[in-house]
Amino acid sequence: MNNIIDGKKIRNEIIEDLKKQVKHYLIKPCLAVIQIGDDSASNTYIKSKEKACNEIGIYFKHIKFSEDAKEIEVINKILELNHDDYVNGILLQLPLPQKFSADKIINYIARNKDVDGLTDINLGKIFNNKNGMISCTPLGIMKLLERENVDLAGKDVTIVGRSNLVGKPLLGLLLNKDATVTITHSKTKNLKVHTKRADILIVAVGKKHFITKDMVKENAIVIDVGINKEDGKLYGDVDFDQVKEHASLITPVPGGVGPMTVASLMLNVVSAYQKQQK
């Protein structure tokens, strides 16, 4: 039995589906990505977003500011894009250089163009179970579980990590699907007690092989969100080789959640476009 969830395959299916939809649009959707500075990881992520846009037929607009730019210049650019009918999605590439406040800048993005789902309004909508933009990685995880026909109702889910990007939005999304959710973090005592009882374990802490086999329940579903680079190689937060013998389903790193994050961004761009056309 192959218990490895193929994120690349699911990503390609989503991209193909979007390509077919976009082919029929007279005006193509447009994604604007704002970058401040020249972080090498950010450059790589932006290229993968551009590649996905090109595959589908979405216009890609890359707006780059130097580290010396003033916060107000970036905000003014966002306000301009908010009013541009040809731009359907706006994304601020993170992380930002230290002198900038990501939280402040993101909240200037119009909520219907916030394709990263990170404005306070869109995060709040998740917890009220209202239709808003959902952050890309949590949306990707939900899509993976959906494609694998995982019924979340009544399942014990443990999330390791409480970031605004992954842990907190996931908490709301899983509750909306009637899961019983525990969220753990750096101050949690007896972490193993919580991970060991989880039917579904989702790990997003950014520490190589943080989760070992003895921390995982037999036949659990394990979703590894971590990306840790060491000597040019990528590793997850889960000790994959150990844990895969133990899990009923598991995502690899790379090739699991990563490809789904970009696919979810594309879903959000097309969804934003459709709502704006109405």
pLDDT: which is higher, 164 or 155: 155
Mean pLDDT of the chain: 96
Band (232; pLDDT cuts 50, 70, 90) = confident
Domains of the chain plus CATH, in order, are 26-112 (3.40.50.10860), 136-258 (3.40.50.720)
pLDDT reported for residue 236: 96
- State how far the Cα of 250 lies from the Cα of 219, in Å rounded to an integer: 10
% of the chain with per-residue pLDDT over 90: 96
Strand order of the sheet with strand 59-65? 59-65, 30-36, 89-92
Summarised one tens digit per residue, pLDDT across range 184-195 is 999 999 999 999
pLDDT of residue 1: 53
Pairing of strands 228-230, 233-235: antiparallel
Confidence of residue 17 (pLDDT cuts 50, 70, 90): very high
Question: Annotated active-site positions, please?
Answer: 49, 93, 116
From 160, 242, 245, select the one nearest 194 (Cα to Cα).
160
